[in-house]
Amino acid sequence: MVQNSNVQKQFATRAKTYNQSANWITSPDLIAAHLELAGPPNGKGIELCCGTGVNGKALTAAGWNITGVDLTMEMLGEVNDVFPVIQGDVIALPFEDNSFDMAILRQALFLFDSLAGLKEIRRVLKKEGTFIISQTVPFSHADEPWLKHIHEVKQAQLLNFYNATDIERLLISAGFNVNEMKMLAVRESITHWMKYAPEQSEEMQRKICDLVANAPEEYKQARNVKVVNGEVFEDWNWVIFKAD
C-alpha cells in the first residue's frame, strides 16, 4: 500500500467537499488554459496527483485517453470512474519510460520531493510529449514573503514554496524544455476556503482569515484584498507552464 499518511489524512477528510472548497478547483478559465496548452487530443495522458480528477475529466471530454494517479483513495473515489485511476506516488510511478503523450500536474508540487517527482514525470512522458504544470505562485516580490508565511502557518504538509521562476528552474533541472508560460488570476473567498478545511481547527481557520485581512499593505495591494461584510477576499495568481 502506498503511504504518506499525513497527506492522505488531510485529503481523505476533505474529499467529498473538495470541489466546492475554492473557486480555482473548477475555474473554467483555468481549465480552458490547461486544455489550450495541452493542444488537440493526441493519445494517452496522465494526470498526476489528480485528486477528484477535475482536469482529467475535462481532458477526457476533450478526447484525451486519461489515466489518473493519486496517493489518496478517497480523492480518487470522486473521479467516479470517468477515467481509470490508480493509487500511486508521483515520485515512483508504475509505468514504463516514454508511456504518455501528455502529463498534467496541478497544485501539488509543494507536497512531495519536487525534483524527484518532475524527473519521474519526464521519464514516463514521451520525448516529444507535452507536460502542463499549474500552480499558485506569488504575483511578485510584494506579496511573496507574507504569502510564504501564510502557507507555512496553514499547510503542515508544505514541503516547498515556489515562485514562477523557481518552478521554471526546477523544470529545466528535471530535464524539461519550457515552451510557454501563462499567468491567470482567480478570485477567492478565504473565509469560504477555510470553512471547507475540516483538517484545520476553528482557531486556525480564523487565524488564516486574519493573516490575509491584516496583511502588510504591499500584500493587500498585489492581491486586491477586500473584506466585505466580514468575508475576506483576495486574488490568487496561477502560473501554467507548457514544457516538453
Q: Which residues bind ligand SAM (CB under 6 A)?
A: 4, 7, 11, 25, 49-51, 54, 69-72, 75, 89-91, 106-108, 111-112
CB of 135 to ligand SAM, least distance (A): 10
CB of 8 to ligand SAM, least distance (A): 6
> Grid coordinates representing 97?
519510460
Residue nearer to ligand SAM on the CB measure, 75 or 240: 75
**Please, what's the largest Cα pairwise distance for the chain?**
54
Residue nearer to ligand SAM on the CB measure, 100 or 220: 100
- CA of residue 56 relative to chain centroid, distance: 13
If you search the block for the grid coordinates 490575509, which residue do you land on?
Answer: 212
Residue nearer to ligand SAM on the CB measure, 213 or 243: 243
DSSP label of 186: E
> Grid coordinates representing 229?
461584510
Number of Cβ within a 10 Å radius of residue 131? 27
CB of 141 to ligand SAM, least distance (A): 25
How many Cα atoms sit within 13 Å of 93 on the Cβ side? 27
CB of 54 to ligand SAM, least distance (A): 5
Residue nearer to ligand SAM on the CB measure, 123 or 227: 123
Residue nearer to ligand SAM on the CB measure, 5 or 229: 5
Strand 231-243 to strand 226-228: parallel, antiparallel, or no bridges (unpaired)?
Answer: antiparallel
CB of 173 to ligand SAM, least distance (A): 18
- CA of residue 133 relative to chain centroid, distance: 8
- Residue (of 47, 134, 38) closest to 90 by Cα position: 47
CB of 228 to ligand SAM, least distance (A): 26
* CA–CA separation, 64 and 156 (whole Å): 35
- Residue (of 118, 110, 72, 69) closest to 91 by Cα position: 118
Residue nearer to ligand SAM on the CB measure, 51 or 138: 51
